[in-house]
Structure 1
Amino acid sequence: MRKALHRLTSFFLSVGLLTMGVPVRAQVDGYADARAELSAGMAEVAGIRGLLDRAAFDLDELAMELFFEDAEGIAAWVTDNVAYQPYRGLLRGAQGTLRARAGNALDQAVLLASLLGQAGYDVRVALGTLDDAQAAELLGTTAAAPARDYGELEARLRAALPSMDWDLFFAAQPDADRSAETAELAGALGAALADAGVQLASAGPDLLAEAAEYAWVEYRLGDGEAWAAAHPAAPFVAGAEPEVAERLEGGVPEALQHRVRFEVLVEVLEGDELTVRPVMPAWERPAANADGVVISYSNVPNTAAMEADLPTVLAESEFWVPTFMGGVPEGAQAFDMMGALLTPEDAANPMAGVVRNVRRGFSDAIGGLGGMGGEPTGEAVALTAQWLVVTLVAPGGEEREFRRTVFDRIGAEAREAGAVTTAAMTREEAELRLLTEHRLMIFPGATPRDFLLDEYLEQVLASEPLLERALALRYGVEPERGLAESLAQGSPVEHLLTMALFDQGPAGQLSWRAEPGLLMFSDGLAGSVEEARIVSRLDIVNNSRRTLGAGGPASMLAQGVWETLTERDLLGDRRHNTANFRGDLTVVEPFGAAPAGLSAEARRNLQRDLDLGYAALVPAGADAWWRVDPTTGETLGITADGRGQSLTEYTIMLYDNAFTLMFAMKSYNDCTKGNPSWEAELCCLAKAHISNIFGIGLGHAIGGFGFGGAVLGMAALSFNITSGLLGTNFADLFPGGVC
């Protein structure tokens, strides 16, 4: 088997023997052989994927494995393999609890109920309240997920693909250099807070009360049987069960769920009135159901299908269509730059032009009135802003909102002054900002390495159509599929890989998520239409965690520093990330006033953090700050626009990837303008291949910074694949060169 699997690596490194610069002519026989080898290679990738023990992270596979166990054996499996971690309500669900190998009593009960149900038992979940002694005993069992033994898997993978750097992937300890930098920077932040009189005190949530909110499973084989009880989280409760307050059959009510809501809002100016309107119905789901799902949003101009350059596409566009998770959501509202909102069907109707002309007339009339006796005062009708709003809804209904600005033509300074003007941003700049794809992922729990590897290999398999297209181009054969059909959409690997690195954290620290973590990648355009550049952002929207013990807040401060440094290193961001600024720190206490030396946007966003009870540490000369919750130690580096993010930019010289299908089809025509050679076109496909697998954000980072962004060894394998297909060392082409 090793010989068969090793053929995959040989194929990657041997296909395409022509050197760069030699014209490619039709070589049908060679192409047929290469296609056959590609198919065989992909079959072997599937074989490598088959080496994974899917029962370790796939609920259905585990249920099949445990199918012939009795109820006591299934309950014992959950108790032995899933750690207890306190938080309120249903956060991870059955699948997420299995994947994280940790959960509270309700999540563990839901996991056990699912396994017993698939084994043929009648099941229901019982809810009750533990007494103080029982709750304290349960809280005392809080632990990290049991260590997973990857030894057998690692041995299989090393035998199958010996050229892959598996040491990086299976490393047990976090990066040593980043760990040392984390300790140094966290120490400096902690000392600055102490010198300013801001103490990190463990005054967080009442974990004992959360542990008292208890759940267990009742089961039986059939109607004539008596119900039996199983206590996966707290076996010691057996025989001393609390009084049943409620029994759940068939589902968990919303009042007990952690939920996530996603909304897109636009602001419209009419005269001197500003109105905020949604462009799509709010999307809301239980966090457990959205685990691992890429939630994508983009605005697509109605001219997206034009075979034209960017200035023409934008100049000819009449309206924008909201695109959510690959399609137009039901109830969506198309919009134009004058603030008219219509259904996509109505917007495409020729009569929509009448509406736009009426609004132009209204704008001219209002503008003329406002400018009597002088120059016109500006636009009277306009689309002034767009926001993405993510809301976490906790069990019981308490909400926490995270708002991200796509564009704002009024600006923070004018808003502070109460002025209504569009002078802060031109319409052209706003249109460029609208050309952005945002990809959000929700993380109720931790991401295990075998699940991450499974998702990675799935993306490799999904990239076969694009590799087939590259082979066709390599051999001068007409591709069977168009570019649009060849591009994979929405890889989850960039999010999963990033969060896996976050989860490594400083060594020797127990922490867990008690609410959904939120991570967003965004790719869009900035600058001018003629000289646009791609901007990739990594935004830690929410990184709240829990920890136990007197040193908990200090540990959480170090965790936040670790995550901020990790996002910096992932995108190679040496300009914007808060950790790049090491000047003297100004400490601002909770509910204090934001320093006057910051920009208006930074002051506004910092003041919002201060008013929420965060302390801030502002490095000298930076329009950024460290945000610290003194009660929990939750820490994050924040930039001026209020995001926990790194940002990196790329000049659009060649095709870097499609952040929307529109951009794919349009930009592919621009790919070879600077270098009209077959090598350049192959580079375009190669870059698309890398981003198909890793996701666009990390794909850009890998493409822009070579192996500096090749995290966990995965990129090395992907570059080998692409290099073999192109007949050249693809890694040598970054940065500069043909690609």
Structure 2
Amino acid sequence: MTKRLMAIAQPVSLALALILGETAWAGSQCRIPADRYQVAEQQLQRAYRLAEEALAELPMEHYAVATQKALLGNDVEALFDWVREETRWLPYQGALRGARGVLIDGYGSHLDRALLLAELLEAAGYRVRLARATLDEATSEALLDDWRSSAAAGGAGTPALASAARGYSSNDYARVARRLGVDEETVRQQIDMSDQQAEGMATRVTERSQTQAVYLAEKLGQASGREERQERELREWLHAMADHWWVQWQSPSGWQDLDLASRHHQAGERVHGGEAEALWPEAIPDEQWHRLRFEVVAERLEQGKLEERIALDHEATAAALVGRSLMLDLQPMGLPPAAALLGGDSSFSPEQLPALLSSSEEWLPLLLVDGEPVIEHTIRHDGSLGDPESGTVISDAYVEAATALGQIGIGGRRSEEEAAAPAELTATFLRLSVSAPGRETDTFERPLMDVLGGERRAESVEGLALSEAMLEARALSMLSSTELLAQSHWWPTAYTLGQLLQGALNNRMVSLGAVHALRRDEASLMGQALERFEPDPVDLMALAHHRHARSPHRDYIALTRLNLLSTFEHLSLGEEGQLFEYGFDIIDNRVEILPGSSDPRHARLTQGVLDTVLEAELLRGGQNRRQDSAKASVVNASLALADALSQNADWKLVTSSEALEGIEADTVSHLRKALDQQQWLVMATEPSNVVTWWRIDPVTGDTLGMGPQGRGQMTEQVLTLMNSIDNAASAVAMVQSVWSCILTKPSAGAMQCCILREGAKAAGGKALGKLSDQWLEIASWAIDSKIYLAALGSVFSEVNGAVVDALPDPC
């Protein structure tokens, strides 16, 4: 986990260039010639045209069933042969990836691979069904031995990052230069910069990951239970192999088998000779799908007891989430729309915002699944649930009855003073539950708001009353946004670049609408532009790509369970005043190690260190591109350990709670929880320095750097006195931007100019800003069209902020 603290930050984004360079404000005191709007629109239109051309260069047709079928044709045996040869079995039960996920990374269980073949055949016009049977032990062992030998022989090592210049002629550079409308030397310079940036990141990540993996491995030593783990793993693999699924298609002569279990099989052969269960693909039982459940939980303090209520409950299959964005917002019911926040409504003054947020008493959890809203209940200040449409309280009768019953106990009826103590909302949690066939359900919790903390919650809350400061902190912290990427497959370079470009194109009208709003000098139009924003988790896509592409064990790591990656942002109240927090949070990063790895435990440990290093690298990468970030600091377990080792300060291994004395109480609650789960900890020797730590499974080697609030990556805190924010066009970022303008601008006109500028920056940051941040490191891994894709980064960077330094501040 990683944490950053800034006093002032002024991120450079596309919209900053637009506003600082092309805006003309009369009443809002923005004085830039209006004719620059045309230049801004031309820059944007060119960038989006090139993005469309780049997307066409990528082989995205390979990642959709219909287009892949069109490439392969309609012959049954050809489709069967392709799936058998181009995809590989993985040891897990049920459907994790689905057909599209298998297409993307080429791996899947019996059921996932069967689903891909079935969809290809259906797209070709055939009638198909699935067959299922449990293989006997001898057959399962034989198939598993064949798979293990094949997988062990398949490792080809990790290729070094190739130089873009290698294998390209002067004509290649000239052709790209003509397409981009620049000279050939500019293209060469851009490719050199792309390689230097990518290789610089590779060097930093590799050196820190390898050094710290060796250090942590030495701390662990040889843990007991390794043989038991290997036996348990073998049993799990055999169960996955025995749970056999295959496809049957209806030929003119009847149903024919298409069994992918063996690489030696031909169409018509199958490994199971007995009876089989037949079912249509749409009739697969629910329990055969890997599933993710989202719950927003409200914790209520009433009569000295804590109870929970579920404000939002949504479940989806992991396969249905492939390629889809997930965003959870918590926002006050009274928060004005974006247009009003930006000054487009005469009935609301932006200066009212701090008081409005601090006095909020009802909040709405809103889950966006690929932009589609999921809403159930609001959360009220007393911990009760409300109806977002009618405004009524849910289960009022139940609450009143429970309150009356609660007043009667062994000691008789409570006193009138005790009975009158109001119920209070004390915390809101995001609870994620991952279920899979043959496994116990994994449950993860992350605090969205928590005024109690782990220490106070562990103690008695009898007689506890919330202070005014706690109530204000609660109101502010209830404004939050969480992005989630449910990773069921690895992200190949071409697929990642395509997703990045498609996300930017989906938000084309956001940035163009911002320019139009600036031209018209209308905050309401700016608000309309922002409301068209579609969630686009660029940072999480980059993380999903790099954690495999940059892994030293990439040939032997596989995903056989759902991994959960997230980013978050929210307001909070600290000693310095109002804070804006954001950062990465890897929630679950466990991987399978395939046969052929010489040391599976060390491979998992190395992967966990790499994931944590990448969190810090990606977070700091955005920081380094911000001009005014000298006062910022990043908190991350890998960075903290690197700093300690540079000063010859050793960290200690903790295997029991007796060694936690002197550590901050709320941190101890997270440490104890990890120890209770049979995890070992590596942390600073001095208790006051335990802000981050490593959590390691001593048997499997599963590893993750942890930090404040037990998050799997670090948080980032920014004082709200900062002048701008470009990391999201969410309610959190909009509120933070407006608040900062209230605090820093001397007049109403200057404040309004600042607010409109920040609105456009939020639009630009999501439309192209983050794409520019992540493009070069990923494009450097491309094989086809590498020169063009890497050189395209110069266009995004130029439009994103290259002209900013030469332009004055219009406010």
TM-score (norm 2): 0.75
Corresponding residue for 1:437? 481
8 Å contact kept, 1:384–1:422: no
Closer/same/farther in 2, CA of residues 213 and 717 from structure 1, 3 Å limit: farther
Residue 384 of structure 1: how far off its partner (Å): 1.2
Corresponding position of 1:135 = 144
Three-state SS of the structure 1 residue aligned to 2:565 is: strand
User: Contact 1:655/1:670 (CA < 8 Å) preserved in 2?
Assistant: no
Alpha-carbon distance change, 665 to 250 in structure 1, aligned in 2, over 3 angstroms: same
What residue number does 1:7 align with?
none
Verify: 1:265 aligned to 2:297, yes or no. yes
Q: 2:670 aligns with which of 605, 611, 615?
A: 605
2:362 aligned residue: 319
Out of 415, 421, 427, the residue aligned to residue 471 of structure 2 is 427
**For 2:362 and 2:716, how far apart are their aligned partners in 1?**
29
Please tell me whether the aligned partners of residues 436 and 659 of structure 1 are also in contact (alpha carbons under 8 angstroms).
no
Which one-letter code corresponds to 1:269 in the other structure? L
**1:242 maps to what in 2?**
272
User: Which 10-residue stretch deviates more, 470-479 or 560-569?
Assistant: 470-479
Change in Cα spacing, 1:484 to 1:19, as seen in structure 2 (3 Å) is closer
Q: Equivalents in 2 of 1:708, 1:370: separation in Å?
A: 66
How far 1:694 sits from its partner (Å)? 6.9
Of residues 535, 539, 558, the one that matches 2:581 is 535
Residue type of the alignment partner of 2:607: Q
Distance in 1 between residues matched to 2:126 and 2:56, nearest whole Å: 30
Change (3 A) 1:139 1:642: same
Instruction: Describe how 1:463-482 pairs up with structure 2 within 5 A.
Output: 463-472=507-516, 481-482=525-526
Letter in 2 for 1:543: N
Conservation of the 8 A alpha-carbon contact between 2:358 and 2:475: no
**Once structures 1 and 2 are overlaid, which stretch shifts more, 257-266 or 81-90?**
81-90
User: Residues 595 and 18 (structure 1 numbering): CA distance in 2 closer, same or farther, change over 3 Å?
Assistant: closer
Deviation track 1:487-514 (CA, whole Å, cap 9, x = no partner) reads 5231132211111112224324410111
Q: Give the letter for the 1:526 counterpart.
A: S
Output aligned runs, 1:354-369, within 5 Å: none
Contact persistence 2:23–2:30 (CA under 8 A): yes
Q: 2:311 aligns with which of 266, 279, 300?
A: 279
1:483-632 aligned at under 5 Å gives the runs 483-486=527-530, 488-509=533-554, 510-527=556-573, 531-548=577-594, 549-572=597-620, 575-579=634-638, 580-581=640-641, 582=644, 583-589=649-655, 593=658, 595-620=660-685, 621-632=689-700
Give the count of matched residue pairs: 696
**1:127 Cα deviation from its structure 2 partner:** 2.4
User: In 1, Cα distance between the equivalents of 2:663 and 2:126?
Assistant: 62
SS state at 2:762 partner: helix
User: Is the contact between residue 321 and residue 334 of structure 1 (CA under 8 Å) also seen in structure 2?
Assistant: yes
Code of the residue aligned with 2:702 in structure 1: it is E
8 Å CA contact 1:456–1:693 kept in 2: the answer is: no
Tell me whether 1:298 sits opposite 2:333 in the alignment: no
> Offset at 1:240?
5.3
Q: Residue 691 of structure 1: which of 722, 740, 765 is its match?
A: 765
2:725–2:737: 8 Å Cα contact kept in structure 1? Answer: no
SS class of match (2:617): helix
Instruction: Give the conservation status (yes or no) of the 8 Å contact 1:59–1:94.
Output: yes
Give, in whole Å, the separation in 2 of the partners of 1:215 and 1:694.
Answer: 46
- My pick for the range that moved more, 628-637 or 567-576, is 567-576
- SS of structure 2 residue aligned to 1:90: coil
- Structure-2 change in CA distance of 1:318 and 1:22 (3 Å): closer
Identity of aligned residues (%): 22
Of 405, 425, 434 in structure 2, the residue corresponding to residue 383 of structure 1 is: 425
Give the distance between the partners of 2:85 and 2:805, measured in 1 at CA.
Answer: 48
> Contact 1:594/1:606 (CA < 8 Å) preserved in 2?
no
CA contact (8 A) 1:94 1:114 kept: yes
The letter for the 1-side match of 2:796 is: S
1:431 to 1:715, Cα distance in 2 relative to 1, 3 A:
farther
**Aligned residue among 50, 59, 65 for 1:59:** 65
Q: Return the offset for 1:228.
A: 2.6
Instruction: Give 1:204-243 correspondences, 5 Å limit.
Output: 205-206=233-234, 208-213=237-242, 215=244, 217-220=246-249, 222=251, 224-238=252-266, 239=269, 241-243=271-273
TM-score under structure 1 normalisation?
Answer: 0.82
> What is the rounded CA distance, in whole Å, between the counterparts of 2:197 and 2:89 in structure 1?
25
Answer yes or no: is 1:409 the counterpart of 2:451.
Answer: yes
2:209 maps to amino acid: T
1:31-51 Cα shifts (integer Å, max 9, x gaps): 457646644553343222212
Residues in 1 aligned to 2:773 and 2:367: alpha-carbon distance in whole angstroms = 26
Deviations 1:596-655 (A, max 9, x none): 232222222222222222222222231332111122211011124222112222233334
Once the 2 structures are TM-superposed, how far is the Cα of residue 371 of structure 1 from its aligned partner? 10
Deviation of 1:121 (Å): 1.5
For 1:608 and 1:279, how far apart are their aligned partners in 2?
25
Q: Counterpart amino acid of 1:57?
A: Y
Query: Which one has the bigger helix percentage?
Result: 2
Contact 1:465 1:486 in 2 (8 A): no
User: Is 1:23 paired with 2:31?
Assistant: yes
- DSSP-derived class of the 2:390 partner: helix
Specify the SS of the correspondent of 1:518: strand
For residue 209 of structure 1, give the secondary structure of its aligned residue in structure 2.
Answer: helix
Greater Cα offset, 143-152 or 598-607: 143-152
1:329-363 Cα shifts (integer Å, max 9, x gaps): 35x222221223221233279xx9xx99xx9xx99
The answer (yes or no) to whether the contact 2:724–2:740 under 8 Å persists in 1 is yes
Q: Which amino acid aligns with 2:288?
A: L
Deviation sequence 1:276-304 (CA, Å, 0-9, x none)? 11112x21111111123222222221220
Q: How many Å separate the matches in 1 of 2:699 and 2:804?
A: 55
CA contact under 8 A between 1:338 and 1:381: conserved in structure 2? yes
Secondary structure of 1:276's partner? strand
1: CA distance between counterparts of 2:23 and 2:508?
A: 24
> Counterpart of 2:254 in structure 1: which amino acid?
A
Letter in 1 for 2:637: T
CA contact 2:513–2:529 (8 Å) conserved in 1: no
Q: Per-residue deviation at 1:435?
A: 0.7
Write the deviation string for residues 381-415 of structure 1: whole angstroms up to 9, x where unpaired.
21111111000101146211001112223322223
SS at match of 1:412: helix
SS at match of 1:346: coil
Q: Is the 8 A contact 1:439 1:520 kept in 2?
A: yes
CA shift in 2, pair 1:304/1:654, >3 Å? same
Query: Which has the higher mean CA deviation after the structures are superposed, 91-100 or 685-694?
Result: 685-694
Structure 2 CA distance for partners of 1:483 and 1:200, relative to 1, 3 Å: farther
Query: Aligned letter for 1:122?
Result: R
* Cα drift, residue 465 of structure 1: 2.6
1:719 aligns with 2:797: yes
Contact 2:707 2:713 in 1 (8 A): yes
**Per the alignment, do residues 228 and 285 of structure 1 end up closer, same or farther by CA in structure 2, a change over 3 Å counting?**
same
Structure 2 residue 176 is the aligned partner of structure 1 residue 176: no
**Equivalent-residue separation in structure 2 for 1:440 and 1:248 (angstroms):** 33
Instruction: Give the drift of 1:88.
Output: 2.1
Q: What one-letter code is carried by the residue in structure 2 that aligns with 1:443?
A: Q
* Code of the aligned partner of 1:64: A
